[in-house]
Homo-oligomer: A and B are copies of this chain.
Amino acid sequence: MRELCLPLGLTEEELQRLDDLVSNRRRLKRGDRLYSFGAPFDAIYAIRSGFFKTDVLLEDGREQVTGFQMAGELLGLDGISSEHHTCNAVALEDSEICAIPFSRLEVLSREIHTLQHHFHKVMSREIVRDHGVMMLLGTMRAEERLAAFLLNLSQRFTARGFSHADFYLRMTREEIGSYLGLKLETVSRTFSRFQEEGHIAVQQKHVRILDVAGLKALMNYRG
């Protein structure tokens, strides 16, 4: 956890103060909302365990999933700008989070330079990630989108010590589709095609990646 979401090179005393900051824990069951669009913002959240999605809704009900977050990642950065949350965060499995009161984070990051810099990097990384999603939504075809999605999940599971090639999806086809700008049927069909072509083995939410190179190759060529 520390390696993933906290800066290195802190003194014992600094670590202690950080631990105080993130001491406010909370458990959520699958389906629970961590926060909702429009709610007042006063804390960001570090995921200790579990899996989340964030989404934004249009007035007519259309949903865009803006991200899937797992242990070690932060939620709520969108709320800083307007003092209100601008999306919904929903637990996709039973999860545990730390609430980090934002005003206290700002105080502490004035005193601990590495914390300040780390926090800026985390926000910036979120912006870079979003640009990657724009690239995906703006220029890629369905196959490329799903391949990129699977490879990204695989890489993040690996970073957390799980198998890079064998995992359970926490989200539905519809949620994957919303994230990737596709309909659930297209997601399902593309899974099936990947399976026929031997790139993966998929049965409902259980995915095994059989051919990483093949998936990567799908991403770089038209046709």
Q: A197 an interface residue at 8 Å Cβ cutoff?
A: no
The range of chain A's interface size is 35 or more
Contact B60 A124 (CB under 8 A): no
Contacts A60-B220, A137-B181 given; does A126 touch B127 at CB 8 Å:
yes
Contacts A116-B106, A139-B64 given; does A131 touch B128 at CB 8 Å:
no
Give A101-120 interface residues, CB cut-off 8 Å to B.
106, 109-111, 113, 116-117, 120
**In the assembled complex, how far is the CB of residue A188 from the closest CB belonging to chain B, in whole angstroms?**
18
> A34-45, CB under 8 A of B: which get 1 and which 0?
000000000000
Contact A134 B81 (CB under 8 A): no
Q: A171 an interface residue at 8 Å Cβ cutoff?
A: no
Contact B59 A220 (CB under 8 A): yes
User: Measured between alpha carbons, how far is A64 from B137 in the docked complex, in Å?
Assistant: 9
Q: A86 an interface residue at 8 Å Cβ cutoff?
A: yes
User: Measured between alpha carbons, how far is A81 from B74 in the docked complex, in Å?
Assistant: 15
Contact A135 B77 (CB under 8 A): no
- Name the residue of chain B whose CB is nearest to the CB of A110: B110
User: Measured between alpha carbons, how far is A126 from B130 in the docked complex, in Å?
Assistant: 10
> A56-75, CB under 8 A of B: which get 1 and which 0?
10111011101000000000
User: Measured between alpha carbons, how far is A86 from B129 in the docked complex, in Å?
Assistant: 10
The interface centre, meaning the residue of A110, A135, A221 with most chain B CB atoms within 10 A of its CB, is A135
Given A80-B124, A127-B127, A130-B131, 19 extra CB contacts under 8 A: A60-B221, A60-B222, A62-B135, A66-B134, A66-B135, A78-B127, A78-B128, A78-B131, A80-B120, A106-B113, A106-B120, A109-B116, A120-B123, A123-B127, A127-B130, A134-B137, A138-B178, A138-B181, A139-B178
16 of the cross-chain contacts (CB-CB < 8 Å) are A58-B139, A77-B127, A78-B124, A78-B127, A78-B128, A80-B124, A86-B131, A109-B110, A120-B123, A126-B127, A127-B130, A133-B134, A134-B134, A137-B137, A137-B181, A138-B178
